[in-house]
Each structure stands twice: as structure tokens, then as C-alpha cells.
A and B are shown apart, each in its own frame.
Chain A
Amino acid sequence: MTDLLAVEHVTRIFALGGLFARGHFAAVDDVSLSLSKDRPEIFAIIGESGSGKTTLARMILNILAPSSGTINFRGVPLSRIHGRRRQLEFMKEVQPIFQNPYEAFNPLKRVDRYLFSSAAQLAGARSSEAREAATDTALRKVGLSLDEVKGRFPHELSGGQLQRAAIARALIPSPSLLVADEPVSMVDASLRMSIVNLFKTLRDDLKVCIIYITHDLATAYYISDRVMIMQKGRVVETGPAQQILANPQHPYTILLRESVLSPEDVDGDGLRPHAEAKEASIA
């Protein structure tokens, strides 16, 4: 087994309704994927809201157990991880990055407090000097430093800085897999590319595998190596990012691809049927 992560035929079913009108709903339905240990890559999971992206991410993070199927991390099934020590060992390897950095940090606590407690819990830093050193190293990887973050509350940092601090927190234990759930959808346009470029650097320099969950096809095309398109819990298409997004085969992928609004459409397309009339009225 050389796979870093192997998800095999995973299904997660949620029960709906009450005692009498019981319904079942498969949020994730027979999904398989694997990430290689030897070649770090950015693997994008794309789908609309309700397609099961986040449920899949929660199962990979071992927050939620699959109803059927297995998830192996370095050959060990996640269902066999019991006890605090083994759970911590797993958390050292797999770290999450959440969508909204303002919700990921408690607004009433200083940002460095989370970084230090991650360093103590996951990186085994016992003294305060070791904690500060581990935190500073991680922050420098994302282009920040401890001096910029120390003693600050979340509202004192910009959205981009805070998201980078959240990524730095995830990097403290030197994980081999990051699960990023819509990491740039809450970040300002002028800062978005700095986060996206940071993922590229993490993959190339630190050899971290990244599962990048998004609904934005354009950034997925820009950074990811492979993509997986999900619809209603099922995988409809998977393969190399450039090939799938430039030349989609499945009808749903084609629909997604066609729905993406592009800045090139500025010279008129289906959405503006009366383009000529509009141009005339402006002039």
C-alpha cells in the first residue's frame, strides 16, 4: 500500500423525517478516490451546494463515520483509530482548513492562543520557547511572522491574514494532507490569489497533499492537478484538471462549465440578449 489516502466505495446516509415517515438520503454515494504518497498534488472536489463535498471532507477528517465503505490513511482504516493518542497521531498528519476564518477563530480569544495550543498538542512543544518557535516557523511558511500575529484578536487581522494564520495553524504539526473546505470563498478578491498561490507553494516546497473543495471552477483549473466533479453525492467525472475542465464529457460537467460566468463574456452572450440595444443606449 503506497497510497497516502484511499477512499473506497464510501457512502454516508442521513435519515430524514420522523418515526413514521422515515426517509433516507445518501449525502455521499459510493465515492472512491486515492492520493499517492510519493507525489504531492492538489486534488479538487467540485460540486454545487448539497452535492456532498463537505460530508466527504468530514469523513476524511474522521469527524463523521461512513455508513459503508472504508477510508484508509497510510493503509490504516480510520475506523480503527481509537483513543486519544492515536487520534492525535492522525490529527498530526491530516489537518483541516475551514471556509470562514472569522468563524474558525473565537472572536474573544487571541489568535496566537490557538497556534500555541496546536503547537503544544500536536507538535509536542513543551516549553513556551518551543511553542513560539514552532508557531513562528509555521507562520513564516505562509508569509506571516509571530510578531504580526502575537497578542492580536481575530478582528484586528484582515480576512486574508486570518486565513493565512488558519493555514499556518494547520501546518504546525507538519501534516502530509490538508483538507481545505472552500478556503477562499470568504476572502477578498485582492487577497484571494495570495491564498491560492500559497497552496501551490505548499505543494511544491513542503510536499503537502491538498484536498481543495470548491465550487469555483476557475481557481480549481488554476491550481489543481486532478479534479473530481460531484453531483448529488455521486462522482460524475474525475481526472486531470486541465483535461476535464477544458473538455468536459459528462452532461453535468458540461452544464457546470457553461454556467461559469467568465470575464470574457463582457462583449455579450446569452445572458444579455439585447447587447446591441444596450451598447447603443450607452453611447
Chain B
Amino acid sequence: MDVALSVENLRAYYLMDYFGIKREVRAVDDISLVVNRNEVYGLAGESSCGKTTFLKAIAAATRPPLEVVGGSTRYSFLDRDIYALSPEELSEIRWKHLSYVTQGSMNILNPVRRVRHSFVDFAFRHLGLPRSEFFGAVEQHLRRLNLVPTVLNAYPHELSGGMRQRVTIALATICRPEFIIADEPTTALDVVVQKDVLAMIREAQQQIGSSMLFVTHDMAVHANITDRLGIMYAGHVVEEAPTAQIFHEPRHPYTEHLVASLPRIGDRTQRTALPGAPPSLADPPSGCRFHPRCPLAMDICREANPSLTVLSANHRVACYAVSPHVKPATVIPVTSDSTTESAGLVE
């Protein structure tokens, strides 16, 4: 099977240095995953578990204090690691090969210019068409996505949130990129609009045949749009399987809880809540980061972090209680010399 993106042992830390005190927040800690061609890969997890940091790291959109300290990120359309590119080469592939729909992206349109202008800004130099043909191509693309071309003449404030999000998706797909990264694209929309926008994302992805990494905390959205699903907890991927398998046979206790606690219409049985709170990434618990809240915690969980182990084809889990094959992950030495301090410094 064709691989579109292969991430190996990626580590992205927020490295801070205040008055000589070094702190390190390990928001993405040793993540390896593969996204296949023409696949929608979902990442789920609660806020501050490192989802967005992971996206920034694989899109090479990191800014200090966020730094990628290890690992590799390889796309099928590049012959080398994305971090080996020069800034000019990077801006050349962005939008053309790799689109990144950021969180709150419906607000990226220039508020004082017509939507038409945003299309020129983003896509003109990548499409390489003369100005006379450019808008013809844009209108054709909008029609394919069932948008009326007259939105080009509107100002962003004249459009509803759902419409702006649709325009943003049209922008992200106009150059027919091989890879699309979408960070919570439907979170700010209400249920009726959300369903339409998701259907449109799916439609666009299938039309241009690109691969997609889709991040949201909403498990119901994942159930509807993604093919495979990775569950993140405190900077680690703790389980990964085809989406249907995650919902039908979750193996990791955190995934089990996430799936079981979803309220469903037609079911009023009591839902339980997990005790405790998500850990601070500046001072994560030793061993498995989930052990303070885990109902199955054993002695080994407190000591060593489990590695993400292949259980069966397509199913990977990082939990000692699930299978005796799960072994501790190799320990990564701390990069900064001083100790980390606990603080709520995570985004």
C-alpha cells in the first residue's frame, strides 16, 4: 500500500528558558505513525494532549519555544525529510502539496478585502495560471464543491460561519494538494452546518484523491469521517486501529472510557466519569502517563512507559494490562540538564 506520510519517533518539545531556569514541556513525545494514500487518519484526544503540536510539527510550522528535537517526518511527494528543506522550498510545497487548515480557520479570510482577494493571495502563485484563466479555474473548483461562485464577491463578514469554513476548505483544496491537515475544522459550527461541512470535506478529499490527517476531540465526528483513528493521551498515541474497531472493541482503558462515556440519544443509563484530571505535560507522571487515572494500573505502569505494540494487523495499543506482549518503551534521555518544573504552561 502506498504511504503518504510516515512519521517516526517524532518528538516536539516546548523549550523555555526563563532567567536561567530551563523548562521543557514534552507535548509530542515519541510518536510514530503512517498515513496511507487516499486515507483519512483521525487523531482524537482532549485539549492539551498535544494534538495541535503534533500537526504543527509535521507541517514544519513550528516556532520557538516549540522545537522538534528528534524523529523524522517524510511525505511521499518529497524525497527527503520535511525539516531538510530550505524556507523557500518549504513555502513552495505548502498549499501546493501540503495544506494545513488550522484551528479557527474560518477567520483566516482577510476581513477588509473580498473573498476573491484571499484566493489570489493563497493560490495565484501556486496554480501558475495567467490572471485571465485563474478565476475561471477558481469558479470551476467552487462549483465542483457545490458553492456558488458569487461568494468570491462577498466580504467575509457577509458570510455565515459555516459558509466561511466552506470557503476555507475550497481554498485548502484548490491546488489539489496530496496531503491535507485539518485541525478541528468543524468545532465552532452547530450541528446542522457541521454535518454539511463534514460531507463537503469528505467529498473534496475524494475528488482530489488526497490523504488527510483530521484532528478533533469529538468522537462522533471521527466515527463519521475517519478511516483509521489514533487516540492521544498526554503526548503519546495510546491506541490506533481502524475507526470501526476503535468503537466496537476498544482495548486501551482510556479509549474504552472515551467510547463508553459518549451520551447517545435513546440511552439514559448512567455514564461514569474518569477520576482525576489530565496531567500537566510539564510534569507528567512517571511510567504510563495514564496510570493515575487508570482502573487497571499495575506496578509496572508506575515505572515504565509502555510502547505502542502491534496486537493484530492494524491494531496498536500501549497498555500492559491488554497484552503480555506490550514491553516498556526505550527511555529517551532528558535533553535539558536541569529538572522540569510543574506549571500550566501547556497551550
Bin chain B's interface residue count: 35 or more
B133 within 8 A of A: no
B221 within 8 A of A: yes
- The segment from A64-72, A115-123, A125-133, A269-277 that touches chain B is A269-277
Taking a contact as CB atoms under 8 Å apart, the answer to whether A158 and B277 are in contact is: yes
- Chain A residues in 8 Å Cβ range of B206: 274
**A interface, over-half SS:** helix
Taking a contact as CB atoms under 8 Å apart, the answer to whether B263 and A219 are in contact is: yes
Question: A188–B293 Cα gap in the complex (Å)?
Answer: 15
- The segment from A30-38, A84-92, A170-178, A252-260 that touches chain B is A252-260
Taking a contact as CB atoms under 8 Å apart, the answer to whether B258 and A246 are in contact is: no
- Chain A residues in 8 Å Cβ range of B131: none
Residue of A nearest to B270 (CB): A197
- The segment from B149-157, B190-198, B318-326 that touches chain A is B190-198
B46 within 8 A of A: yes
A161 within 8 A of B: yes
Question: A218–B268 Cα gap in the complex (Å)?
Answer: 10
Taking a contact as CB atoms under 8 Å apart, the answer to whether A218 and B257 are in contact is: no
- Chain B residues in 8 Å Cβ range of A190: 46, 254, 257-258, 261, 273-274, 278, 293
Question: A73–B39 Cα gap in the complex (Å)?
Answer: 56
A25 within 8 A of B: no
B248-285 CB mask vs A (1 if < 8 Å, else 0) is 10000010011101111111101111100110000000
B32-50 CB mask vs A (1 if < 8 Å, else 0) is 0000101100000011000
| Smallest CB separation, B214 vs chain A (Å) | 13
| Smallest CB separation, B136 vs chain A (Å) | 29
A114 within 8 A of B: no
Taking a contact as CB atoms under 8 Å apart, the answer to whether B263 and A189 are in contact is: no
| Smallest CB separation, B230 vs chain A (Å) | 14
Question: A269–B220 Cα gap in the complex (Å)?
Answer: 13
Contact for B46 among A48, A189, A194, A272, CB less than 8 A: A189
| Smallest CB separation, A213 vs chain B (Å) | 13
Residues of A156-209 contacting chain B, CB below 8 A: 156, 158-161, 188-194, 196-197
Taking a contact as CB atoms under 8 Å apart, the answer to whether B220 and A194 are in contact is: no
| Smallest CB separation, B48 vs chain A (Å) | 8
Taking a contact as CB atoms under 8 Å apart, the answer to whether B265 and A221 are in contact is: yes
B278-307 CB mask vs A (1 if < 8 Å, else 0) is 100000000000000100000000000000
B23 within 8 A of A: no
Residue of B nearest to A241 (CB): B268
Taking a contact as CB atoms under 8 Å apart, the answer to whether B224 and A193 are in contact is: no
Taking a contact as CB atoms under 8 Å apart, the answer to whether A197 and B223 are in contact is: no
Taking a contact as CB atoms under 8 Å apart, the answer to whether A221 and B220 are in contact is: no
Chain A CB within 10 Å — which of B38, B263, B266, B270 has the most?
A: B263
Question: A260–B228 Cα gap in the complex (Å)?
Answer: 21
A161-B277, A262-B223, A267-B244 given as contacts; is B263 within 8 A of A255 (CB)? Answer: no
B219 within 8 A of A: yes
A158-B278, A193-B271, A193-B273 given as contacts; is B199 within 8 A of A271 (CB)? Answer: yes
A49 within 8 A of B: yes
B227 within 8 A of A: yes
- Chain B residues in 8 Å Cβ range of A262: 220, 223, 264-265
| Smallest CB separation, A151 vs chain B (Å) | 15
Number of interchain pairs (Cβ within 8 Å):
139
A9 within 8 A of B: no
Taking a contact as CB atoms under 8 Å apart, the answer to whether B191 and A156 are in contact is: no
- Chain A residues in 8 Å Cβ range of B277: 158, 160-161, 191
A103 within 8 A of B: no
Taking a contact as CB atoms under 8 Å apart, the answer to whether A48 and B202 are in contact is: no
A109 within 8 A of B: no
Taking a contact as CB atoms under 8 Å apart, the answer to whether B224 and A269 are in contact is: yes
Taking a contact as CB atoms under 8 Å apart, the answer to whether B192 and A259 are in contact is: yes
Taking a contact as CB atoms under 8 Å apart, the answer to whether A271 and B192 are in contact is: no
Taking a contact as CB atoms under 8 Å apart, the answer to whether B273 and A263 are in contact is: no
B104 within 8 A of A: no
Taking a contact as CB atoms under 8 Å apart, the answer to whether B190 and A189 are in contact is: no
Contact for B265 among A189, A191, A217, CB less than 8 A: A217
A147 within 8 A of B: no
| Smallest CB separation, B147 vs chain A (Å) | 18
Question: A155–B342 Cα gap in the complex (Å)?
Answer: 12
Taking a contact as CB atoms under 8 Å apart, the answer to whether A261 and B195 are in contact is: yes
Taking a contact as CB atoms under 8 Å apart, the answer to whether A261 and B194 are in contact is: yes
Taking a contact as CB atoms under 8 Å apart, the answer to whether B190 and A272 are in contact is: no
| Smallest CB separation, B196 vs chain A (Å) | 8
Contact for A155 among B46, B248, B266, B344, CB less than 8 A: B344
Question: A176–B269 Cα gap in the complex (Å)?
Answer: 27
- Chain B residues in 8 Å Cβ range of A255: 192
Given contacts A193-B261, A263-B223, A263-B262, 17 further A-B contacts (CB under 8 A): A155-B344, A161-B277, A188-B278, A189-B258, A190-B278, A193-B273, A215-B191, A218-B263, A222-B263, A256-B192, A259-B195, A261-B191, A261-B224, A262-B223, A271-B199, A272-B225, A282-B227
| A-binding residues in B (CB < 8 A) | 36, 38-39, 46-47, 161, 190-195, 198-199, 202, 206, 217-221, 223-225, 227-228, 242-244, 247-248, 254, 257-259, 261-268, 270-274, 277-278, 293, 314, 344
Q: List 14 A-B contacts (CB under 8 A).
A: A188-B217, A191-B273, A196-B263, A216-B263, A219-B263, A259-B191, A261-B220, A264-B223, A265-B223, A266-B223, A266-B244, A269-B224, A271-B195, A274-B206
